[in-house]
Amino acid sequence: MIPIRRALLSVSDKTDLLVLAHALHEFGVELIASGGTARALAEAGLPVTPVETFTGHPEAMEGRIKTLHPRIHGGLLARRDHDGDVQDMLRFNLLPIDLLVVNFYPFGAALAQDKSPEEINEQIDVGGPSMVRAAVKNRNHVVVLTSHCQYSEFLAELRHNKGSVSPDVSDRFGRQAFMELVAYDSGIANWLNPDEFRGLALRKMRSLRYGENPHQEAALYSEFHLPMEGLVAADKLSGKQLSYNNLLDADGALSLLGEFTDCACVIIKHVTPCGVGIGSSPSEAIEIALLTDPLSAFGGIVALNRPLDELAATRLSDIFLEIILAPEFTSEARKVLAKKKSLRLITFDQDALLARKSVTEIRPVWGGYLMQDRDHGFPEWNDYQVVTNREPSPDEFAALKLGWVVAKHVRSNAIVFANKSGTLGVGAGQMSRVDSTRFAMLKAEAAGLSLNGSICASDAFFPFRDGLDLIARAGATAVVQPGGSVRDDEVISAANEHNIAMIFTGRRHFKH
């Protein structure tokens, strides 16, 4: 057991500090504290020894030098069962420190508040991380706490063991402290070397049953210092635990759903949209989304950006689905879906979805990693070009925008036929854009949907006019594509021959 007789407290975040300090005092623990922590304890009437009194050295350089002293680090590093260390403690008049309570300068907060480089630099903590490193190295003899969230567990352990802490608990706190240290230093390194370094500190949130296949292990992680958000914070109201593939599909569904502010329904299968509907109500949006590919909806994921009501739930109740995502489920809707014991009902923060930050996407390759910014937004709608003789009608233009949004979330080569209410046929992941077009046409035919008067969105340019000719034969009357092919003139001529209105956006949305 590790008896707690002397504690050093040095915290920027003083949440629950006095609760901890009063409890330590009740156990007869000697309190040493630095700067503002010492003042807070003294003002609370607690006996406290300032660090400068303990070390015999005054604070210097506006507080930059406080805890960097042999009496501090000697007290933290001394091995109580090592004869040499014990002799050195006696020789240099050092006292053991059994408990270190530290949290670091708020570097991340300064960064988030867009402070000046000088102000951010001043929030690089030196003494705190140095003491934590020492305490973690000597965690068999020193307990280290780096978060107020640990205080209650620590005090329960202290009370249970009548003033001592077990080595196992100390070891766990030490490992947690070093994770804090690595995450803190990674943030500093990223700021100092934005073009050369990318440190990513991740906390394991939970193990998953398996990965893409049963023989693969998998887990869900979140960034260590960021608050839980998105799918990590989503509330599962019912159903089985989420799997690796479920999470990928749910992320794809929410990524596409977040592009819409109108009442929308998105259906995803294998991270690919197989139906999108815009309606005046959730049930209408669901009806439209299901029209595109009702067969693929089987075993898929449905996401809505409006509360799911009883009527919408009834429409979905006869379909086998893995997940339904919505900002809210009414009590009546939950009753309708209660018979589906395995169906996961998940709520998410709609405001957070619409305001979500751009995140860095990371993918492994042999020997390294690829990293890119997320494909965010559609600024091209401020600078598009109508390149054909005929301009799109208002209805065609609304459909072009919807199809373009969906195409961004479809695996390349992506072809999407749509009208202003939703998708009609989706062609994804084919090696040829013509094949994707044929596939989208087959999907529409299988669903009994006519493409006459539809629009077509293509995530990249048409390299030849054959794709445009095929779209015209399908019955589409307007096309949106990035442009940029050496044969753009040929494709534009084909569009004019078919009286098709065509827009060039100048921006590509490949999704590999």
Catalytic residue among 137, 225, 240, 340: 137
Alpha carbon 314 to its chain's center? 32
Domain regions of the chain by residue span = 2-192, 234-354, 379-504
Write out the H or E segment, with its range, that includes residue 3: strand 2-3
Token digits of residue 414? 């992506």
- What is the predicted pLDDT for the residue at 190? 92
Alpha carbon 335 to its chain's center? 31
Cα 429 from Cα 412, distance rounded (Å): 5
Angle at 375 between CA 486 and CA 252, to 5 degrees: 115
pLDDT tens-digit map of 475-500: 999 999 999 999 999 999 999 999 99
- What is the predicted pLDDT for the residue at 151? 96
Buried-state track 379-409, b at ≥16 Cβ within 10 A, e below 16? ebeeebeebbeeebeeebbbbbbbbbbbbbb
Q: What is the mean pLDDT of each run of 10 residues along the chain (512 residues)?
A: 95 94 95 93 95 83 76 91 89 93 91 88 90 95 95 95 95 95 93 90 90 94 82 82 92 94 95 95 96 93 96 94 95 93 91 79 90 90 96 97 96 95 94 93 95 96 93 96 95 96 95 87
CA-only gyration radius of the chain, Å: 30
- What is the predicted pLDDT for the residue at 358? 63
Catalytic residue among 240, 270, 420, 511: 270
The CATH number of 379-504 is 3.40.140.20
| CATH fold of 234-354 | Cytidine Deaminase; domain 2 (3.40.140)
Closest listed residue to residue 324, CA positions, set 244, 235, 411: 235
Say whether 379-504 and 234-354 share the same fold: yes
What is the Cβ-side half-sphere exposure of residue 191, based on CA atoms within 13 angstroms?
Answer: 22
Tell me the pTM. Answer: 0.85
Active site residue 357: no
Closest listed residue to residue 80, CA positions, set 170, 157, 160: 170
Of the candidate CATH numbers 3.40.50.720, 3.10.440.10, 3.40.50.1380, 3.40.50.300, the domain formed by 2-192 belongs to 3.40.50.1380
Which residues, at least 6 apart from 251, have a Cβ–Cβ distance to it below 8 Å?
230, 231, 271
Active site residue 141: no
